[in-house]
Amino acid sequence: MRILVTGGLGFIGSNFCKYTIKEHPDSSIINVDKVGIGANRANLKDLKREKRYVFVKGDVLDFRLLRKLIKQVDATVNFAAETHVDRSISEPNVFVRNNTVGTFTLLECARKYNKKVRYVQVSTDEVYGDILEGSFTESSSLEPSNPYSASKAAADMFVKAYCRTYDVNASITRCTNNFGPYQFPEKLIPKTIIRGIKNLQIPIYGAGKNIRDWLYVEDHCRAIDLVLREGRRGEIYNVSSGNEITNTELVKRILSILGKNEDMITFVEDRPGHDLRYSLDSSKLRSNLGWKPRFTFEKALEATVRWYRNNEKWWKPLATKEILSPRPWKTSG
């Protein structure tokens, strides 16, 4: 299978490229990435000499480029997105362009130049909004709370519309919070680890009672791969592991693994539109496609802390003054 991956230098995208090359010797990847915020060429430096992997610097808004590339592949997996909620609040126009219009551009290329291409849209649990009890299913209504989640929800709607109107062979995955190697330091887990290593205070929004369900990135990549190869056209698949935990408890566990004291935690003013709890029902993915997590939360978190400890050369250039300032960070993705 020849796969066009967009945003493959990002956290989840780069892990997916590695997973595909490792697990599918008959598959090849063309990775298109504009190398913007959250992208890092170092994520895939070990694929530099891999003949089944090709990198193309480009933007999902570049119709002419995508038109050329989509003719060459059997499938497209769209990871390309702006993901930081805080930035979406201050710069919503950037998120509409990259997340919504970028998805529209890909769909137009599929419709006009490769109707047979298999398309997977990688979305987020944030499109549902928050939920105090129970879990969202794929048929739940969308109630995005911020410009980031609104731009992703709009992209999902375009995917569904193109499936129905133009018969584009697309599916959507919606995942809970990812974590693991190569995650950009602005996100909760890597930022906590890095600040803990440097003996800096760990700021947490509000009272720290916001709840997220954490999914190890390799488990997520397996789910995307299954949906790509076995998922049905027009279907949505939630991806969740059942590891719900408050932000405060998560930070405490990381500090414990690092051997640090909990008095490093400091609570700061909450951000606007901060959802209290996300929770997804992934029984459809589990029953229809046979997916389930392979990694326990405890082992995966320990492995993640160990990776950041052992890979300072990777994250040090990314640990900017903003990352190491007292400002808090996005708790999703």
DSSP 232: P
- Which CATH number is 33's domain given? 3.40.50.720
Q: Residue 206's pLDDT is what?
A: 86
Percent of the chain's residues with pLDDT above 70: 96
Q: pLDDT tens-digit profile of 259-306?
A: 999 999 988 888 776 878 999 999 999 999 999 999 999 999 999 999
Answer yes or no: is 42 within a domain: yes
DSSP per residue over 257-321, as a string?
A: HHT--GGGEEEEPPPTT--SB--B--HHHHHHH-----S-HHHHHHHHHHHHHH-HHHHGGG--T
Answer yes or no: is 33 within a domain: yes
Q: Residue 321's pLDDT is what?
A: 63
| Distant-in-sequence, close-in-space partners of 317: CB < 8 Å, separation ≥ 6 | none
| Distant-in-sequence, close-in-space partners of 316: CB < 8 Å, separation ≥ 6 | none
Q: What share of the chain is helix, strand, coil (3-state, %, to 5)?
A: 45, 20, 40
- The yes-or-no verdict on residue 331 having pLDDT over 60 is no
Answer yes or no: is 318 within a domain: no
Answer yes or no: is 29 within a domain: yes
User: How far, in Å, CA of 26 to CA of 174, rounded?
Assistant: 27
pTM: 0.93
Q: pLDDT tens-digit profile of 104-147?
A: 999 999 999 999 999 999 999 999 999 999 999 999 999 999 99
Q: Residue 272's pLDDT is what?
A: 78
Among candidates 64, 145, 129, which has minimal Cα distance to 280? 129
Q: Residue 322's pLDDT is what?
A: 62
Q: Which amino acid is it at 209?
A: K
Residue 148 falls in the annotated catalytic set = yes
Q: How confident is the model at residue 327 (pLDDT cuts 50, 70, 90)?
A: low
Answer yes or no: is 114 within a domain: yes
Average pLDDT (304-313) is: 97
Q: Are strands 118-124 and 211-216 parallel, antiparallel or unpaired?
A: unpaired
Average pLDDT (163-188) is: 96
220-238 in b/e form (b: 16+ CB < 10 A) is: bbbbbbbbbeebeebbbbb
Residue 166 falls in the annotated catalytic set = no
Residue 91 falls in the annotated catalytic set = no
Q: What is the CA radius of gyration of the chain?
A: 19
- The yes-or-no verdict on residue 236 having pLDDT over 80 is yes
- The yes-or-no verdict on residue 326 having pLDDT over 60 is no
Q: How confident is the model at residue 332 (pLDDT cuts 50, 70, 90)?
A: very low
Candidate list 148, 182, 205, 278, residue with the active-site label: 148
Answer yes or no: is 322 within a domain: no
Answer yes or no: is 164 within a domain: yes
Q: Residue 82's pLDDT is what?
A: 87
Q: How confident is the model at residue 320 (pLDDT cuts 50, 70, 90)?
A: confident
- Residue 283 region, left (φ>0) first, then alpha (ψ -120 to 50), else beta? alpha
- The yes-or-no verdict on residue 333 having pLDDT over 70 is no
Q: Residue 37's pLDDT is what?
A: 85
Range of 7's domain? 2-178+215-239
Answer yes or no: is 87 within a domain: yes
Cβ count near 1 (within 10 Å): 14
Q: Between these two residues, 258 and 269, which has the higher pLDDT value?
A: 258
| Distant-in-sequence, close-in-space partners of 213: CB < 8 Å, separation ≥ 6 | 125, 176, 177, 240, 241, 242, 243, 244, 278, 279, 280
Contact 255, 195 (CB under 8 A): no
Average pLDDT (41-66) is: 96
Query: How many domains does the chain divide into?
Result: 1
Q: Between these two residues, 318 and 73, which has the higher pLDDT value?
A: 73
Candidate list 33, 82, 108, 126, residue with the active-site label: 126
Q: How confident is the model at residue 328 (pLDDT cuts 50, 70, 90)?
A: very low
Candidate list 125, 130, 156, 275, residue with the active-site label: 125
Among candidates 196, 175, 206, 176, which has minimal Cα distance to 304? 196
User: How far, in Å, CA of 318 to CA of 305, rounded?
Assistant: 17
- The yes-or-no verdict on residue 329 having pLDDT over 50 is no
Average pLDDT (246-252) is: 97
| Distant-in-sequence, close-in-space partners of 74: CB < 8 Å, separation ≥ 6 | 1, 2, 3, 116, 117, 118
Q: In sequence order, which ranges of the chain are alpha helices (DSSP H)?
A: 11-23, 63-70, 85-90, 92-95, 102-113, 147-166, 188-197, 217-230, 247-258, 283-289, 297-310, 312-315
